[in-house]
């Protein structure tokens, strides 16, 4: 008697093999669900979903606190950045054009922040001496009279 004829004539054996196949399929499904559950449960030694939710909740609170601190810090940095020097422009010139003394060694340099406040520094160079001038700038203007080169240095920062 062959194996196939034995299976077809004995319904108990057929039921046994069907149950074995169903058991193997269910065992595979249980293993797959266990693997998915281990991926879902986070945190140190989490055994329950409640442990995972507590772990995630505490991490979320830490993250929210960090975010608030970071926003305060970035606001402070933004305020300081607006006051820092944003643009620099230098204009070199010869203050003694007709006499030839000094060459293009003289300069006017403007240092301005985002609101166009800052300072313009000028230097007049001749063979005998060097003069340095500093004038405060508020909104691209100064309460002191500006030379043509100083105005040019300030205008060059707005490009």
Whole-number pLDDT of residue 25: 96
pLDDT at 23 over 90: yes
User: Which residue range is the domain that position 122 belongs to?
Assistant: 87-156
Give the count of domains, the chain: 2
Flag the least confident range among 15-29, 40-54, 87-101: 40-54
Distances (CA, A) of 44 to 37, 40, 47, 55, 151: 14, 13, 9, 8, 66
Domain assignment present for residue 25? The answer is yes
In a domain? residue 137: yes
Q: What is the pLDDT of residue 53?
A: 76
98, 143: one domain? yes
Whether the full predicted model's pTM is greater than 0.85, yes or no, is no
Phi, psi (degrees; rounded to nearest 5) at 7: -65, -45
Shared domain check, 97 and 48:
no
SS in 3 state form for 47-76?
CCHHHHHHHHHHHHHHHHHHHHHHHHHHHH
Q: Does residue 59 form part of some domain?
A: no
User: Does 72 reside within a domain?
Assistant: no
The partner residues of 13 in beta bridges, in order of sequence, read: none
């Amino acid at each position: 008697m062959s194996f196939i004829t034995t299976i077809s004539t004995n319904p108990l054996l057929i039921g046994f093999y069907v149950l074995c196949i169903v058991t193997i399929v269910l065992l595979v499904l249980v293993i797959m669900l266990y693997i998915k559950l281990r991926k879902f449960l986070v945190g140190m030694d989490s055994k329950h979903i409640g442990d995972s939710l507590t772990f995630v909740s505490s991490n979320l609170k830490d993250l929210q606190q960090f975010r608030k601190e970071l926003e305060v810090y970035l606001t402070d940095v933004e305020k300081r950045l607006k006051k820092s020097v944003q643009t620099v422009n230098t204009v070199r010139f010869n203050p003694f054009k007709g006499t030839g003394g000094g060459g293009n060694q003289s300069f006017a340099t403007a240092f301005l922040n985002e609101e166009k406040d800052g300072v313009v520094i000028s230097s007049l160079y001749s063979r005998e001496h060097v003069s340095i001038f500093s004038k405060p700038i508020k909104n691209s203007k100064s309460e002191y009279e500006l030379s043509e080169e100083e105005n040019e240095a300030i205008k060059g920062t707005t490009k």
